[in-house]
Amino acid sequence: MRFHSPQKLKTIAELIGSEFVGPEDFEVLGTNEIHMVKPGDIVFVNHPKYYDKALNSAATIILIDKKVECPEGKALLVSEDPFGDFNKINTHFTRIYNFTEELHDAEIGEGTRIHSSAVIGNNVKIGKNSLIFPNVVIGDRTEIGDNVIIQSGTVLGGDAFYYRKLNGNFDRLISVGNVIIENNVEIGNNCTIDRGVTDSTVIGEGSVLDNQIQIGHDTVIGKKCLIASQVGIAGCCVIGDEVTLWGQVGIASGNKIEAGSVILGKTGVNRDLKKGTYIGMFAEDFKGYLKKEVKLRNLK
């Protein structure tokens, strides 16, 4: 998430009541998750296991639960509760409506048709000649391109599935990102595409999604991908252009699939994949899998 205007380190520290390390006028441009950070971003970390990753990331402001040596050119915000203070910063700069208020500020392009039963949030943009079927829900800040088809029951921009365990309960990391649907995308019935926690969940131009597909927060799907029914993609994944995912494929969080790959039905993806065709619980190379099966069947 980028702030509407640059902020100063001291201003952010005062907002959350934290100590800071670095010049008080150190520039802060926004917040982001560790997978997505850019210079000027705040990233939070609350476990020693991940200190080095956060401190050495592209983020230049680290919201951390312990005072440590600050890398050159960076700044620290030292907080007793980085997770909670990350939420406080995000919701200070992005108002959360959750359909409790209607601003009636959607921008709708010429030739776009929206069924009367569709529900549209605030700060939504929809391009030209798109078609929104009955009972579609479009959350705040969603951006939809031209010539897009979204079929019945699909939800764009629901909350990210991102929690911590706190005092025996689950505490949500509040989602202030959005969903971007590029031009010429088709989305089937009863799909759910979560908005980014601090960035965008993106469906690339020309991609086609079947029914009952779940796409997690901050995942980026490339152009002209084909995704069959009941695929589940966790958060922060990157799917290259012209990837085909067949029915019931499951992809774990933070993994990348190279452009042009084919993932056959019921395959589980738990690591980054180079271009190829894959099958099986742990995404084996398809040709290697067939050779293994032949050998097993020939055992006496």
When pLDDT is cut at 50, 70 and 90, the band that residue 296 belongs to is confident
Looking at domain 107-278, its CATH superfamily turns out to be Hexapeptide repeat proteins (2.160.10.10)
The predicted structure's pLDDT at residue 300: 60
The predicted structure's pLDDT at residue 289: 87
209 contacts: CB under 8 Å, gap ≥ 6: 185, 186, 187, 188, 191, 203, 227
Domain boundaries, the chain: 2-93, 107-278
The predicted structure's pLDDT at residue 96: 93
Say whether 164 sits in a helix, a strand or coil.
strand
The predicted structure's pLDDT at residue 292: 86
Active-site residue, 115 included: no
The predicted structure's pLDDT at residue 173: 95
Say whether 190 sits in a helix, a strand or coil.
coil
- Average pLDDT over the chain, rounded to whole? 96
What would the pLDDT profile of 234-293 be if each residue is shown by its tens digit?
999 999 999 999 999 999 999 999 999 999 999 999 999 999 999 999 999 998 888 888
The C-alpha atoms of residue 288 and residue 293 are separated, in whole angstroms, by 9
DSSP codes joined into one string, 81-111: -HHHHHHHHHHHHS---TTSS-----EE-TT
User: In percent, how much of the chain has pLDDT > 90?
Assistant: 93
Q: Average pLDDT, stretch 134-147?
A: 98
What would the pLDDT profile of 175-227 be if each residue is shown by its tens digit?
999 999 999 999 999 999 999 999 999 999 999 999 999 999 999 999 999 99
The predicted structure's pLDDT at residue 273: 98
Say whether 214 sits in a helix, a strand or coil.
strand
pTM above 0.85, yes or no: yes
* Statement: residue 25 has pLDDT above 90: yes
Looking at domain 2-93, its CATH superfamily turns out to be MurE/MurF, N-terminal domain (3.40.1390.10)
Residue, of 291 and 53, whose pLDDT is higher: 53
Name the burial class of residue 300, with classes exposed (0-12), middle (13-18) and buried (19+) by CB atoms within 10 angstroms of its CB.
Answer: exposed
